[in-house]
Amino acid sequence: MIVLGIETSCDETAAAVVDDGRHVLADVVLSQLDEHRPYGGIVPEIAARSHLEHLDQVIAEAMRRARVDFPDLAAVAATGGPGLIGGVMVGVTTAKAIAAVHGKPFVAVNHLEGHALTARLTDGLDFPYLLLLVSGGHCQLLVVEGVGRYRRLGTTIDDAAGEAFDKVAKMLDLDYPGGPAVQRAAEAGNAARFALPRPMKGRRDCDFSFSGLKTAVRMAIEGLGRAPTTEEVADLAASFQEAVADAVADRCARALDTFRAEFPHGAALVVAGGVAANRRLRERLTALAASQGVRLVAPPLALCTDNGAMIAWAGLERFRLGHSDPLDFAPRPRWPLDPAARKARGAGVKA
Ligand code: KG4
Ligand code: ZN
């Protein structure tokens, strides 16, 4: 069974082909980073136009590399949301057109489900497992019980983790996107130099918060009374990164307790999303998993950040369970994985 997957919900134009033997036959990702860099963030209108301009070529390249033709496909999957609606519309419309022309089923995939199921593509992981999803738009802890069966244990009550990295990078006058730039700067820094808060640490729930930490970084910079030196930038980056890693590890420890009380044999903590690329965070999660006797599964970096393979795989998993979607499926700007989860408080909540 071979499935084409299309991802256009953010700033990557991506298409991939996977099969049910867990092989990624092709995975093509075109980043729009250079188009958004002058604005220091993603401009939705530019993103949508760029997807429209490049998606056909990206799909053709994926099909060519996979050495398959449209008639070989079992289904065509595309991200149906959540995300920037203009981009999602481009991907969904293109997938529907291919499906209609070639008489193939269309599968609308929840982008978050793509991240959530990646560990089954890369590691053949069985259900259930605990998932930490940390990206530019999301920061959630979910129990993954099956395809389409997610229970949210916690979410951010303000910013997503990646968003905090990006904003702190701006304050420190570092490159865009901020996460990798903060990590690079932190390498030379002293993480103990600035005492920053660990938001939500020790709380009984599994929620996250990053806006207070962001404010604390701003106040530390203002406290210097002048622009920070290169050394101070490194120390601020290291102190901030350490605070995030510490806070996230604490929230994961809390969630692992909850998860394992319910599933004593649940054996894995999975981390996905762009921030999962952070080396310090990975170190902390590796140590946490080891201390709790569970396995840490962190997909390779290329499959942590947005890509088409995760959409193709989630589409394949849904399709082989008998799910497909009508051609009048409407793209969804918001699409929670766990619709029953209580509403998170706070401004700017993404999930
Ligand atoms: O999953 P992703 O590629 O896009 C979505 O948001 O869906 O995540 C992008 C986010 C950005 O905020 C970026 O700054 C962050 O992931 N990121 C990192 C690192 N690499 C990417 N954050 C911290 N450390 C990194 N090494
Ligand atoms: Zn994503």
pLDDT at 351 exceeding the cut of 70: no
For residue 131, the cross-strand partners are 142, 270
Looking at 34-43, 219-228, 256-265, 336-345, which range is the least confident one? 336-345
Instruction: Give me the mean pLDDT over the 5-29 stretch.
Output: 97
Q: Whose Cα sits closest to atom 8 in ligand 1?
A: 274
* 221 and 159 inside one domain: yes
In this structure, the answer to whether residues 68 and 22 fall within a common structural domain is: yes
135 shares a domain with 275 = yes
What 3-state DSSP class applies to 260? helix
CA distance to 65, 201, 273, per residue, from 37 (Å)? 29, 34, 20
- Do 149 and 287 fall into the same domain? yes
Report strand pairing: 295-297 vs 268-272.
parallel
- In this prediction, residue 343 carries a pLDDT of 74
Q: Is the peptide bond before 44 cis (omega within 30 degrees of 0)?
A: no
- Examine the domain organization and report whether 310 and 274 are in the same domain: no
**Residue 243 domain-assigned (yes or no):** yes
Nearest to 350 by CA among 80, 40, 139, 150: 139
Q: How far is the CA of 99 from the centre of ligand 1 (A)?
A: 32
| C-alpha span between 209 and 184 (Å, rounded) | 23
- Indicate whether 343 belongs to any domain: no
Compute the distance between CA of residue 331 and CA of residue 137 in angstroms, rounded to an integer: 18
Question: How close is the Cα of 327 to the center of ligand 1, in Å?
Answer: 32
- Asked whether residue 288 is domain-assigned, the answer is yes
Confidence band, pLDDT 50/70/90 cuts, at residue 177:
confident
Same domain, 47 and 70: yes
- Is the per-residue pLDDT at 335 higher than 50? yes
Residue 262 shares a structural domain with residue 286: yes
CATH number for 8: 3.30.420.40
Q: Does the beta carbon of 140 sit less than 6 angstroms from any atom of ligand 1?
A: no
Predicted TM-score (pTM) above 0.85 = yes
Q: Tell whether the model's pLDDT for residue 231 goes beyond 50.
A: yes
The count of domains in the chain is 2
* pLDDT over 80 (residue 346): no
Residue 268 has pLDDT above 50, yes or no: yes
Judge if 295 and 164 occupy the same domain. Answer: yes
| Residue indicated by tokens 């997957």 | 5
In this structure, is residue 60 part of a structural domain? yes
Question: Could you tell me which residues come within 8 angstroms of residue 97 by beta carbon, excluding any fewer than 6 positions away?
Answer: none
* Per-residue pLDDT tens digits for 123-175: 999 999 999 999 998 999 999 999 999 999 999 999 999 999 999 999 999 98
CA of 244 from ligand 2 middle (Å) equals 19
Residue 41 predicted with pLDDT over 90: no
pLDDT value at position 225? 96
Pair 90, 183 in one domain: no
Q: What is the pLDDT of residue 345?
A: 60
Same domain membership, residue 203 and residue 157: yes
Which residue's CA is minimally distant from atom 10 of ligand 1? 136
* Parent domain of 200: 127-301
- Answer whether residue 347 shows pLDDT above 50: no
pLDDT at 240 over 60: yes
Report if residue 327 sits inside a domain.
no
Pocket of ligand 1 contains residue 299 by CB under 6 Å: no
Each residue's pLDDT tens digit, 282-306: 999 999 999 999 999 999 999 999 9
Whether 121 has a pLDDT exceeding 60, the answer reads yes
Q: Which ligand sits closest to the CA of 277?
A: 1
